[in-house]
Amino acid sequence: MTLPRFYPIFDDVAWLPRMLPLGVKLVQLRIKDQPQDVLRAQLSEGRDLCRAHGAHLVVNDHWQLAIELGCDWVHLGQEDLDTADVAAIRSAGLKLGVSTHDKAELARALPLKPDYVALGPIYPTILKKMKWHQQGVEKLSVWKDRVGSTPLVAIGGMTTERAPGAFDAGADVVSAVTDITLNDDPEGRAREWLEVCR
């Protein structure tokens, strides 16, 4: 499966009407600390918006809701894998993305036959406190050797200036969060991303 090379992540569905018309075709909603009704409403809206724009919505963490709402993708971190029912996710027809940070986590992820493997943080990130130091673009080459034809996502501290180096090192997809959401002109920055990820 060939994935779009640009993969932004947002914490609120309100970003999607701003980003999808620009041509974003793969997007994750990573919504934390919200009541279930708010979560369901946001994911339902995100699903419908993505379908209207021919884009793929990836639901972070909330695999039960992703199944219930008929979403296409779910993304699981390593902690989520402890409790997620991967067989139920697969039998519902959802595609699966998995976060990895070290060789042990990659060894755990690969038998699940994920539809992409994410490696991060490639560069220091302000998004969340992490026990892992920056991985560096060189590690993308090591990961690509191990994952083979499985799409490899580079995440963490990514900018449009850093994206070409990640692609050169073996990443198939580059993910961005704060480089867009904290930019003075998020739409303009997203256009730059789409250009560099063509």
**Which of the residues 5, 30, 47, 162 is marked catalytic?**
30
* C-beta atoms surrounding 129 within 10 Å: 6
What is the distance of C-alpha 183 from the center of its chain? 19
* C-beta atoms surrounding 133 within 10 Å: 9
Residue 10, class by beta-carbon neighbours within 10 Å (0-12 exposed, 13-18 middle, 19+ buried)? buried
- Residue 91 appears among annotated catalytic residues: no
User: How far are the Cα atoms of 104, 113, 129 from residue 64, in angstroms, in the given order?
Assistant: 26, 19, 26
CA distance 105 to 127: 21
**Which of the residues 90, 103, 113, 128 is marked catalytic?**
128
**Which of the residues 99, 139, 144, 175 is marked catalytic?**
99
Q: Which residues are catalytic?
A: 30, 99, 128
